[in-house]
Amino acid sequence: MSDWLGTYSTAESLNAGLDLEMPGPSRLRGILADLAISSRHVSRSTIDERVRNVLEFVQRAIKIAVSPEESTRDLPEDRKLNRKLAADSVVLLKNDSGLLPLGKKPFKSIALIGPNMKTAAFCGGGSASLHPYYTVSPYQGIVDQLPEEVEVLYQPGANAYAFMPEISAADVRTPTGEPGLRMRFYRDPFSLPNQRTFYADIESDLVAPATGSFEFGLAVYGSANHYIDDQLVIENTTVQRGGNFFFGKGTLEEKVTIDLVKNQVYKLKVEFISGASSKLVKPGVVNFGGGAGRLGMIQVIDTELAIERAVEAAQRADVTILCVGLTRDFESEGFDRPNMDLPSSLPPLITAVVEAAPEVILVTQSGSPFNMIPWAETVNTHVHTWYVGNELGNGLADVLFGAVNPSGKLPLSFQRCIEDTPTYLNFGSDRGQVTYGEGIYIRKDVLYPFGYGLSYTTFDYSNLSVSATSVTLNMSNSGKLPGAETVQLYISPDKMATIARPVKELKGFFKVFFAARRDPSRRDFT
């Protein structure tokens, strides 16, 4: 089976053993396969083998018992494992003043700041996205571990999104008063031949969550109009601008700003026409069949005022935790990030909060490198986490409060700027041709290298012994806390080697847990 749109030949792929071209309908099979057979580039026996493999797979698949009803698997042991994995993946980048772990340090108030604080960014976008049974945000995970008497000062500090967040289910209800939306589908009369178009009305009552200006956004594959109280507010039908939604099939997110009053009810309606009505013709991308749409909403905030309020909270609090980063809308498939920068509202927020509370604990979140240079030197305590699943908030809190000693290591390097990335000079294509010219000799210093990660304790290495086939060493915990360390073995190539190899390559690693101080351990690499 091919990757989606990863097939670029007919005869060659058939002869090489590719049974199934994905996604359907095939682009390079069908008539092209007939031509390959008639021109004797592919034999009929090869076609028979490809077809036989697909039919055998179908026969195996239909024998798998499938429950007629969907169910969830949300067991205590799963939650426990997910929490452990979330904590073990956290990487401690800086702890210069020894502020972490917070442990049982006495404090009366804590400021929790940042747009990622109440957002459970638990997964990436596209094929990496999932519908979770539940999620735990950093805010929830931290607050759950605080004593009741600790005052919590929360401020978002900024909005940071690539696309407007989807309208919360808590804010909408059907016209009959039930939670959610009501959708009604229509289609053309049966008398019309080869009908491909259908229609849908999506209706709900929106209960405004606050008083102020709210921005709405509508993206669609197909066409759609958005109404509020029967007034057309977004028209996305006659003139459409291409965007990244729905693997490139969709439009840009068309936006409008509307003033709402808290608890007042507004009638929302989207009139949708299926994918056949799209004005955007983009052959070669994933086909969404009937079409798709996305409606988002977010309250507009004054960024300068939001930063001022965040600074005031940081100055009042005994402890400040600032949580910022990316989400699945920034890191997905089907498009590239345009640069390495965080959303433009975040660097000023970080700088202002760090100046107001120098001992701030900075928590960043992403699945790829981003530019830290504007504030990297001024931050004393820095923790990085990833899109680590349902238990994101609990795992992070376990590390911050010391229930878990951080032992994560970076699986990538954080460059100082985008110009230092290996592909910078060769990024993009020239008439469909891409040059892979980065090679293996980068020769650029990085801010944080691959394999980097600190701990709340320290470790000693001794008695290193190297033979032709193995490496042995002794390790011990020389600090005051239990913890785990990952030993990494890098090997440099023979200077007389005729094939170019990296200056050093990771050839092995293992993690060792030390339960107590001076706990010795000996490990062998072979």
Sign of CA dihedral 82, 101, 117, 162: negative
Bridge partners of 491?
Answer: 505
Place of tokens 């706990």: 519
- Write the CA distances from 90 to 119, 265, 272, 292, 397, integer angstroms: 17, 42, 43, 36, 10
195: alpha, beta or left? (left if phi > 0; alpha if psi -120 to 50): beta
Distance CA 257, CA 196 (A): 34
Contact 206, 226 (CB under 8 A): no
Query: H or E segment at 139?
Result: helix 138-143
Query: Residue 443 is which amino acid?
Result: R
Place of tokens 């290298």: 449
Beta strand ranges found along 164-304 (DSSP E): 172-173, 182-187, 198-207, 212-221, 223-228, 231-236, 254-260, 265-273, 292-299
Contact 91, 449 (CB under 8 A): no
Measured at the CA of 38, the angle between CA 35 and CA 41, to 5 degrees, comes to 80
DSSP code for 512: E
Catalytic position from the list 3, 230, 430, 494: 3
User: Under 8 Å CB-to-CB from 284, ≥6 apart: which residues?
Assistant: 5, 27
Beta strand ranges found along 15-166 (DSSP E): 91-95, 109-113, 151-155
Distance CA 476, CA 171 (A): 55
DSSP of 321-337, one letter per residue?
EEEEE--TTTS-SSS--
Catalytic site residue 3?
A: yes
Distance CA 483, CA 481 (A): 6
Q: Residues with catalytic annotation? A: 3
